[in-house]
Amino acid sequence: MNPFRRVLLIVLDGVGIGGMPDAASYGDADAATLQHVAEAVGGLNLPHLDSLGLFRVAPYAGGNPEAPVRGAYGRMREQARGKDSTAGHWELMGVTLDQPLPTFPQGFPDEVIRDFETAIGVRVLGNVAASGTEIIQTFGPEHLRTGRPIVYTSVDSVFQVAAHVDKVPLDRLYSWCRTARELLNPLRVGRVIARPFSGSEAEGFARVAGRHDYSLPPVGTTVLDRLTAAGVEVQAIGKICDLYGGRGLTRQQPTTDNDEGMDAILAALGRQDSGLIFANLVDFDMLWGHRLDSVGFARGLTRFDDWLGRLQSHLEDDDLLLITADHGCDPTTPGTDHTRERVPLLAWHAGMSAGIDLGERESFADVGATVADNFGVGKEPGRSFLDQLAAG
């Protein structure tokens, strides 16, 4: 089979399909994001995803077991330790963490906080592990009175800084986060996240657009690095740029939500003739998974599925579409954090006439290996499935 001129890789952030073999050690033995969302809303109707084989790898309430499949389908295990976006995305592009990035369930060490306060000239509030939607209710009033940033973390390797948009301009919040990123590099903290919010003590506080992630650069050479070194164009949409520290990319398009991300994907197809278009749709994780909103999650999946039919009509004969996820974020399980799950792997090109079972892949790195194989920049690490796509 001739290589594809363009590859479009879409990550549905947080759309897991059932616990990993080691999920119990993460407290996630019962997690199954897609299936539990479907159960919670009385069933989902995702005909375009089912036509690619989603129901075959993750039977869910409302799905169509008789749907004809013209696509390749499988599921993937994560080899990296952890269950956050950084570890998942790095492994997708061939860098697998053999040790988890550090977490701080009791808050960050005093010396870290002191160094941060000294650098920005302001004392902080919080320094606890907390839900982002709850901590702004707790500390929001004091923040408005004092201007002190709210610092918090979670079960993931993150240093999050929240500030009210009417008290702290976004450029100052971003400056604080860049300072934190530099201070935290020696500790290998995965991400520093700017979390703007709005509202009042009387009406309550809510997050708003303007989130920005400052990630630890990948600890090894990614497929993205190899592609750009070989002159292959790599366009990043959504938080992809943040997760790879800006490395291995030729163009980047930040987005604020899924709708903007889907529009950006279609726009990218109109201006990029070859190479990789790599997109993350974050709302499944950020808006619905973490906020325990099964109804919103279901609506988001339905909206994506409707759009997927439109997307396929824009793809040309020598385009390859890949759809996967980076972890789970089950809104029906206790807690508001990510869940350690397998993820779906769906592939499609216009020449497919039948379904292809890709099986259970041992690593997310198989995606990167397939992309690398297609553009002739190697196959390892990971196991390419490029040749199997000809069978359909």
- Region 294-317: mean pLDDT is 97
Percent of the chain with pLDDT over 70: 99
This prediction's pTM = 0.90
Asked whether the predicted pLDDT for residue 390 surpasses 90, the reply is no
CATH fold for domain 110-214: Alpha-Beta Plaits (3.30.70)
CATH 3.40.50.1220 fits 6-98+217-391, yes or no: no
Asked whether the predicted pLDDT for residue 1 surpasses 60, the reply is no
For the beta carbon of residue 102, count every other beta carbon within 10 angstroms: 11
Residue ranges per structural domain of the chain: 6-98+217-391, 110-214
Confidence class for position 81, pLDDT limits 50, 70, 90: confident
The dihedral built from the CA positions of residue 48, 51, 54 and 60, taken in this order, carries a sign that is positive
- Region 84-113: mean pLDDT is 94
Identify the burial level of 113 via C-beta atoms within 10 angstroms of its C-beta, where 0-12 means exposed, 13-18 middle and 19 or more buried: middle
- 18-72: pLDDT as tens digits: 999 999 999 999 999 999 999 999 999 999 999 999 999 999 999 999 999 999 9
Asked whether the predicted pLDDT for residue 149 surpasses 90, the reply is yes
Confidence class for position 340, pLDDT limits 50, 70, 90: very high
Query: How confident is the model at residue 98, as a pLDDT?
Result: 86
Please state, in angstroms and as integers, the Cα–Cα distance from residue 26 to each residue in 13, 87, 114, 158, 235, following that order: 19, 15, 31, 17, 34
Query: How confident is the model at residue 2, as a pLDDT?
Result: 59
Task: Mention every residue, 6+ apart, whose C-beta is less than 8 A from residue 263.
Answer: none
- Give Dmax (Cα) for the chain: 64
- pLDDT, the chain, mean: 95
Task: Note whether 167 and 205 are within 8 A (CB).
Answer: no
Task: Note whether 309 and 337 are within 8 A (CB).
Answer: no
Asked whether the predicted pLDDT for residue 220 surpasses 80, the reply is yes
Query: How confident is the model at residue 302, as a pLDDT?
Result: 98
d(CA 302, CA 118): 48
Asked whether the predicted pLDDT for residue 391 surpasses 70, the reply is no
d(CA 266, CA 318): 16
Asked whether the predicted pLDDT for residue 247 surpasses 70, the reply is yes
- Region 190-204: mean pLDDT is 95
- Region 234-246: mean pLDDT is 94
